[in-house]
């Protein structure tokens, strides 16, 4: 992984690729990109942006639990799953994780009082999987 993609969570280096390799093994997942977001307790925490093979094939909460049960260490657990119809890409076709990270940070922050996981990718409208 490139150094700038590395996530530092609780002082530990977390490599997004390690989490991506686990997440993409789920049968409903077509593509995944993991990036770090600010976290008051850990400094940063991983979030998985996911493109599903079919909209609604798996709930974000269920996918987060599936990923977190299979990653090698607690610090690799994702704090959220962002469902996207597609990923932003550069001219070479590479996923722009920084754009995903910015979109995640810009999403509405009003949350229910009960802890939940799962966010629709704010890329110009809700993902069909979020309905």
> What is the mean pLDDT of the segment spanning 58-83?
96
* pLDDT at 67 exceeding the cut of 70: yes
User: Which pLDDT band, with edges at 50, 70 and 90, does 54 fall under?
Assistant: very high
* Residue 71 in domain: yes
* Residue 129 in domain: no
* pLDDT at 66 exceeding the cut of 60: yes
SS3 at position 65: helix
Domain interval for residue 47: 3-109
* Residue 30 in domain: yes
Residue among 49, 112, 52 nearest 81 (CA): 49
Q: Report pLDDT for 6.
A: 95
> What is the mean pLDDT of the segment spanning 80-94?
96
Domain count, the chain: 1
* Residue 130 in domain: no
Residue among 66, 79, 75, 62 nearest 23 (CA): 66
User: What does the mean pLDDT of the chain come to?
Assistant: 87
> What is the mean pLDDT of the segment spanning 12-27?
97
Q: Name 48's bridge partners.
A: 34, 81
Q: Report pLDDT for 61.
A: 96
- What CATH number does residue 24 fall under? 3.30.300.30
**Percentage of the chain exceeding pLDDT 70:** 81
* Residue 18 in domain: yes
* Residue 119 in domain: no
Q: Report pLDDT for 115.
A: 43
> What is the mean pLDDT of the segment spanning 99-106?
93
What is the maximum alpha-carbon separation in the chain?
A: 42
Rg (the chain; Cα; Å): 14
Lowest-pLDDT choice from 13-17, 61-65, 121-125: 121-125
* Residue 51 in domain: yes
Name the token pair of 31. 């593509």
* Residue 29 in domain: yes
């Amino acid at each position: 992984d490139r150094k700038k993609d590395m996530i530092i969570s609780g002082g530990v280096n977390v490599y997004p690729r390690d989490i991506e390799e686990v997440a993409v093994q789920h049968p409903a997942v077509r593509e995944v990109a993991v990036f770090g977001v600010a976290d008051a307790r850990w400094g940063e925490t991983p979030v998985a942006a996911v493109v599903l093979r079919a909209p609604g094939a798996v709930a974000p909460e269920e996918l987060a639990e599936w990923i977190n049960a299979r990653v090698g260490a607690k610090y690799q657990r994702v704090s959220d799953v962002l469902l996207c119809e597609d990923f932003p890409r550069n001219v070479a076709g590479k996923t722009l994780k920084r754009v995903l990270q910015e979109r995640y940070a810009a999403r509405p922050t009003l949350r229910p009082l009960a802890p939940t996981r799962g966010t629709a990718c704010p890329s110009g409208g809700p993902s069909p999987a979020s309905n």
